[in-house]
A and B are shown apart, each in its own frame.
Chain A
Amino acid sequence: MTPTIAYVTDPRFPGGTSSAIAAELAAISDMVRPAVYGLSTAMFRDREDAPVLTDALAALNLTLIRDPEEIAADIVIFHNPACLKFQNTPGTRIIARHLIVVTHENFLRPGGHEAFDVANCLDQIAGASVALTRSLAPVSDANRSTVSDWMDRHPAGARWQQTQDNWPNICDFDLIAPTARPADRRGRHSRPGFEKFPSRETMDLCFPSDAASSVILGADHLADDPDRPPHWTLIPFQGLSVAQYFDMIDFMVYYTAPTWHESFGRVLAEAIAAGKIVITDPGTAQTFQGGVKAATPDEVSDIIAGYIADPDRYQADVRAGQRSLDAFSAAAFRRMFSDVLSRSGEAVL
């Protein structure tokens, strides 16, 4: 018998979490019909549900059940426990054979500092749940290592185990062919948070004045900087559609603050699918297993120059990168999910 499935999250997550859930629900729609629960956590006051999730639920004819007293299913999948970080109780009971918490955010930042009050969030879930197995499901290898390190050093980690496989974001984007004539048109896009941007020194290396163009989408804070370089094209977050932005670049150069790392890197997957060469730091690149170029900022311009001089290699590497996205396809997710379903009977205390 197919186990019953329940999804739990705060539906107001604005970025990757809601997009990931929407894609998952679509991917598994012919395998199971999950119940979907929405928690109104203290993290998102005065914010609407994420449209991508609302649309997905509507398309699948699923009803969002808000703030239930109890959630009961064979497998309960709790997406992104960080939504509980500003409160002390989830406000619901969870009864499950297997409780899986998908850890969309890194538990630790570079340097080992907690990225959020992980113990508080996990303890809330553990305290409110009766489950044979409680698992943490990292979204990538990079994310997994932060979860492992946290579990090793924190007593609350003993109440959890890690899933064997990652629980990746589905990156089922339409693939666009690479340009045959790449130019030194660089860009980056992200939310405008300070964690998403590296130091000014690194930005200068990534987007030098001799680049043909440098488009920075999500540059809300940079626009306030009176010393911003005139050759940067700064566009606020959502000031341009992502498709329009991709039309303006051939190279995606993406570095973050040294004190923060992407847990998955959905924006990089988007760029790969859009037919761009993506250059980032080695830690962020590892998720895509060769699909993006790992480099230090001072190597960026040489890498770009090399590709411009060799358009065939540019096209070949873009296509190779797009093939690396197969690991994040809906089909790959369904295989992983099928395994989870089949193992649900094995869940033990």
Chain B
Amino acid sequence: MILLCSGQISLRHLDALLLFATGLREAGYSVAIDDRFAPAGMSRHQKFEAVPFLAAPDDITPGCIVIIAAEDISEEVQTLLRAAPPPPGTPVRAVGYFETPQARINSRNRIAYATGTEPEVINRGTPHSKQLIEAPVVPLVTAIARAPVQSEGARTSLLVYMPEDMLEEEGVLHDLATLRHAPRTDLHILTTAKGKAIIRQSRHAGLSVFGYGELAPANLLTYADVFAFFGPGIPGERMAFLALIAMGSGKVVIDCTTSAAFKTAGAPALSGPEHAAALAGYLADTVAGSRREIGRRILLDPWLRACDIATLTESLSLRPSPAASPDERAPATVFFPTNGVGLGHAQRCALIADGLPGESAVRFAAFPSCTDLLRRRGYDCMPVIARSDAHEDAFAADLINYLRLRDMLAPGDTLVFDGGFVFDSVYRVVSELKIPAWWIRRGLWQPEHINPNVLERERAFTGVITPDEAFPELNDVYSSGNHIHRVGPVVRTDASSPKERAGLRKRLGKAFNRPVDTLAVSMLGSGMASERTAQVQMLCSLMEERENCLHLVVVWPHAVVASDFGQWHNSFAVRTDQTLSLCAAADLVVSAAGYNSFHELLYAGIPSIMIPNHATYLDDQEKRARAAADRNLARFVAATDLLTLQREVDGLLDGTVRAEIAAAFTEVPLPERGNNAAAELIRGVNSR
């Protein structure tokens, strides 16, 4: 393993370490970054990029130590090198851009004094090799592909880098946005965080925009075949590195900078227009029909060849890691359900997983609240960590989950994520491993959830599977395209017979030591989304008045509702995921209107009273419950309306309401379930 250090400790140098480490890893080298070189003040993006590489020098046995940016080695770095010198016999190598022989000697001396080991020092700055930017601290080198790594077909994925101040110029954003409508062109924009905000606040908010540090350059590569750089020049090492590795992959780089920065450096970039308005025509005339041929020629360019990472690694005497022995395991499908307030995401994933062929290797990455359920259903489960206010960084748990997902997944696997917001861990691991991935995204979001920042992460996925709602008016469309696949509601069905239901009631009676003439089940959520104590207590009091009554209050794992029902004789809290069987056997079901509960009740034809939860981060339960009530498939009770609740309970248990709802179920057709269709989509990817 190569242990990387840098001549100074700063965010800029860390960025350089990350770029170089990524380049080495992509070229087949085993590489780590000395964690003492990670400075304070790292951004969220930097932490995600860094965490797979960081290692304490005491924890690894490096094959060699490589110091980058060796042209200026600070005292702080010398102190660190002195404090943890390389193990005896471990070679130390340094690379830098040295303007004079004395600068190189200085570097060698400082390393030799600090480590006690003579380093080998490589100069990347020669009079004949002009760099893309002045005085870079990262070795600007790239792996060079044998053939252009570009997508097949006539469509061209275009990534445009544009600085924020240019985006503010009148008409520029409009011109850029029109590219989205250019024939056979998929447009992505790369800009700063501020630039991204400018776009999001404009009428072109729906554009696909990457923030400057949102993904590592190596991961951005997969999103485009053509890269166009606008602005006065090349804005720093990160963009220079992106352009360089794009060229090294045989992608097309267009120099639209006003200073002709790429051409001036001698890089094999096309000279493009300085104005965004002219880019569409330029692409059509110059690039579209010949991008692969342009890529081939770029790969043969002598300037690019001088940037070959193989030349540097050879001069540093680095050896790639031995090729890993072929992984014996079959490609796996890994489901990662987010942690909602209930178990809905995990339930839905399990239902789809059930639809995969029996021989499929299926695993789950799941939050602790879901692991029991999934394991009971026979699925191997890797636990992931839930967010906590106790963590120093709000994203600390996701950072660890990112590492776990990286370890869990391998090329050839498929990741299936179910949730409303795609975690950084998922977004990054999919982009990094370049694996097929599906996003299961049910609809009916609250309006504040529908924004481009949430939807833009679709681009990381092979496709989006949107399980429909039972009723058409509930199926909002948030995005469109060939990658969006609607399937019927993904829902569990009750296969129990009347005899089995009677048997269940009998067993319950025995368990709770009573005859059960009336079985009531209430499932009002975990209490995290909405406070439901009043409704639960109301139901308990209503059931208390009935003889031979058993009222089961379903409590989700990690629920915050009171579970002490000691003062009631007929009401008991139960923790179970066998809710559908209970409901099917019950005389009264009072439920929230989450996607799973709602559809399970509908598809099982179970009459119910629905009290929607209404937290802003939930789906629109009220709309869902009203849709069922409007069709007389359930009774709707607002959370605040306790008197109505009493009336509806009486109506269901003592009146004709139950029969009326049962009759309505025979009249209202429901769409076909989407469980298998979703599984088929995922299978299709697996079998490709």
* Binding partners A and B: yes
Could you list which residues of chain A lie within 8 angstroms of chain B, going by C-beta atoms?
Answer: 85-86, 109, 111, 113-117, 120, 193-195, 197-200, 221, 224-225, 227, 257-260
Report yes or no: A115 in contact with B113, Cβ–Cβ below 8 A: no
The closest CB in chain A to the CB of B100 belongs to A117
A194 near B108: Cβ-Cβ < 8 Å: no
Q: Smallest CB-CB separation from B108: which chain A residue?
A: A113
A115 contacts across to B, CB distance below 8 A: 105, 109
A193 and B113 contact, CB distance less than 8 A: yes
Q: Which residues of chain A are within 8 angstroms of B108 by Cβ–Cβ distance? A: 113
A259/B112 in contact, CB under 8 A: yes
**Docked CA distance A197–B113 (Å):** 8
Residues A117 and B102 in contact in the complex (CB < 8 Å), given A199-B85, A221-B82: yes
In chain B, residues 57-84, which have Cβ atoms closer than 8 Å to a Cβ of chain A? 75, 78-79, 82-83
Q: Which chain A residues border B105 with CB–CB below 8 Å?
A: 113-117
Of the candidates A85, A225, A227, the one whose C-beta lies within 8 Å of that of B102 is A85
List the B residue with the shortest CB-CB distance to A193.
B113
Interface residues of B in 91-105 (CB under 8 A from A): 100-102, 105
| Choice from B85, B101, B117, B118 contacting A120 with Cβ under 8 Å | B101
* Residue contact A259 to B118, C-beta cutoff 8 Å: yes
Is B113 a contact partner of A257 (Cβ separation < 8 A)? yes
Asked if B110 is at the interface of the complex by the 8 Å CB criterion, the answer is yes
Residues of A within 8 A of B455 (CB): none
Q: Does B515 belong to the interface (CB within 8 Å)? A: no
In the assembled complex, the CB of B136 is this many whole angstroms from the nearest CB of chain A, namely: 22
Contact between chains at B113 and A195 (CB < 8 Å): yes
Q: Is A109 in contact with B109, judged by CB distance below 8 angstroms?
A: yes
Give 6 A-B pairs besides A116-B102, A199-B85 with Cβ atoms closer than 8 angstroms: A111-B118, A113-B108, A117-B105, A198-B116, A221-B78, A260-B113
Inter-subunit contact A225/B118 (CB<8 Å): no
Assembly CA distance A23 to B587 (angstroms): 109
Is B102's CB under 8 angstroms from A199's CB? no
A85–B102 alpha-carbon span in the complex (Å):
6
> Does B361 touch A at the CB level, under 8 Å?
no
The distance in angstroms between the C-alpha atoms of A285 and B645, with both chains bound, is: 99
With the chains together, A260 CA to B100 CA distance in Å?
A: 22
Contact of A227 among B83, B100, B101 (CB under 8 A): B83
Enumerate 20 A-B pairs (CB-CB under 8 Å) in ascending A order: A86-B102, A109-B109, A111-B118, A113-B108, A115-B109, A116-B105, A117-B100, A117-B102, A117-B105, A120-B101, A120-B102, A194-B110, A194-B113, A198-B116, A199-B116, A200-B83, A221-B78, A221-B79, A257-B113, A259-B116
| Interface pair B83/A260, CB less than 8 Å apart | no
Q: Which of A85, A195, A224, A259 contacts B79 (CB 8 A)?
A: A224
Against A, the Cβ 8 Å flags (1 = close, 0 = not) of B149-179 are 0000000000000000000000000000000
Residues of A contacting B113 in the complex (Cβ-Cβ under 8 angstroms):
193-195, 257, 259-260
Chain A residues contacting B100 (CB-CB under 8 Å) are 86, 117, 120
Which B residues fall within an 8 A CB radius of A? 75, 78-79, 82-83, 85, 100-102, 105, 108-110, 112-114, 116-118
Q: 9 nearest interchain CB pairs?
A: A259-B112, A194-B113, A117-B102, A195-B113, A117-B101, A85-B102, A257-B113, A194-B114, A199-B116
Complex alpha-carbon distance, A200 and B114, angstroms: 11
B102 contacts A194, C-beta separation under 8 Å? no
Contacting residues, chain A, for B82 (C-beta < 8 A): 194, 197, 200, 221
Q: Which residues of A contact B109 (CB under 8 A)?
A: 109, 115, 195, 259-260
Residues of B within 8 A of A225 (CB): 79, 83
Complexed CA–CA distance, A257 and B112 (Å): 8
- Shortest beta-carbon distance, B70 to chain A, in Å? 15
Quick check: A260 and B102 within 8 Å, CB to CB? no
How far apart are the CA atoms of A85 and B110 in the complex, in Å?
Answer: 16
What's the minimum C-beta distance from A188 to chain B, rounded to whole angstroms?
16
Contact B116 A258 (CB under 8 A): yes
> From residue B118, how far is it (CB to closest CB) to chain A in Å?
5
| Nearest CB in chain A: distance from B164 CB, A | 37
Please name all residues of chain A whose beta carbon is closer than 8 Å to the beta carbon of B114 when the two chains form the complex: 194
Q: Which residues of B contact A111 (CB under 8 A)?
A: 118
Nearest-CB residue, chain B, relative to A111:
B118
Which A residues touch B75, using CB under 8 A? 221
CB distance from A109 to the nearest CB of B (A): 7
Q: Which residue of B lies closest to A227 (CB)?
A: B83
Shortest Cβ gap from B112 to chain A (Å): 4
Give B100 Cβ to nearest chain A Cβ, in Å.
Answer: 7
Residue of A nearest to B82 (CB): A194
**A221 contact set on B, CB distance < 8 A:** 75, 78-79, 82
C-alpha spacing A207/B238, complex, angstroms? 47
Smallest CB gap from B83: residue in A: A225
Contact of A109 among B79, B112, B117 (CB under 8 A): B112
Residues of B within 8 A of A116 (CB): 102, 105
CB A231 to nearest CB in B, in angstroms, measures 19
- Assembled-state Cα–Cα distance A258/B115 (Å): 10
CB-nearest residue of chain A to B101:
A117
What residue in chain B is nearest A196 (Cβ atoms)?
B113
Chain B residue contacts of A257, Cβ below 8 A: 112-113, 116
Report the bound CA distance from A258 to B83 in whole Å. Answer: 16
Docked complex Cα distance between A114 and B109 (Å): 9
